[in-house]
Amino acid sequence: MILGLIMALIAGTLVSLQNIFNSKVNEHAGSWATTTVVLGMGFLASLGIGLIFEGKKLFILQNMQPWYWVSGVIGVGVVTCLVQGIRLLGPTYAIAIVMTSQLTFALLFDSLGWLGLEQIPFTFKQLLGVLIIVAGVIVFKLGGVREKKLSRRKLVQSQNDSTQVQKLEI
């Protein structure tokens, strides 16, 4: 259990770090180049590490359902959408929405037993947890809107004050 928690925390940290790097690459290279670089580097890293730890067993893919191969295509969608979401919304807001979406769909897939998952009974506690997270994202976004309005007002007031001072000097 502890190892699982540690690994999940590390994964969350790495995803956040990767998103920052991806958005910086996207500023210079564009969305599709970013996706190509990210997934290409991921492929090379996975291949190298896989060969080191698993050797030839890396290529034994018996009893795998054909639709699982779609995972790589899904990865293209993940990287592309995340890079654009961060560009358009900012990292914190985009990641909050991604996490909420992940949790919601994980709950749906678990509860319905879709895609070969063991069906886990849906409970009110699970729904409440997702709703609290959604409420947190809404509060986060609304709080940011208020701060932006205050910041804009201060900027406009500062510009007005500068204009008035310039008029007085003339």
- What does the pLDDT read at residue 162? 61
φ/ψ of residue 63, rounded to 5: 60, 30
Amino acid at 21: F
DSSP states of 60-124: --TT--GGGGGHHHHHHHHHHHHHHHHHHH-HHHHHHHHHHHHHHHHHHHHHHTGGGPPP----H
CB 95 within 8 A of CB 18: no
Residues 102-111: tens digit of each pLDDT: 888 888 898 9
Instruction: Name the residue among 38, 34, 101 with its Cα closest to residue 72.
Output: 38
- What does the pLDDT read at residue 90? 85
Specify the long-range contacts of residues 134-143, CB closer than 8 Å, at least 24 apart.
134/100, 136/96, 137/93, 137/96, 137/97, 137/100, 140/92, 140/93, 140/96, 141/93
Residues of the chain short of pLDDT 50, as ranges, are none
Whole-angstrom CA distances from 31 to 35, 41, 62, 85, 104 are 6, 15, 35, 11, 26
- What does the pLDDT read at residue 10? 93
CB 50 within 8 A of CB 58: yes
Share of the chain above pLDDT 90, in %: 19
Report how far residue 76's alpha carbon sits from residue 43's, in angstroms, rounded to the nearest whole number.
Answer: 12
- What does the pLDDT read at residue 43? 93
- What does the pLDDT read at residue 59? 86
Residues 49-62: tens digit of each pLDDT: 999 999 989 888 88
- What does the pLDDT read at residue 152? 66
Residues 84-102: tens digit of each pLDDT: 998 898 888 888 888 888 8
Task: Identify the three-state secondary structure at position 30.
Answer: coil
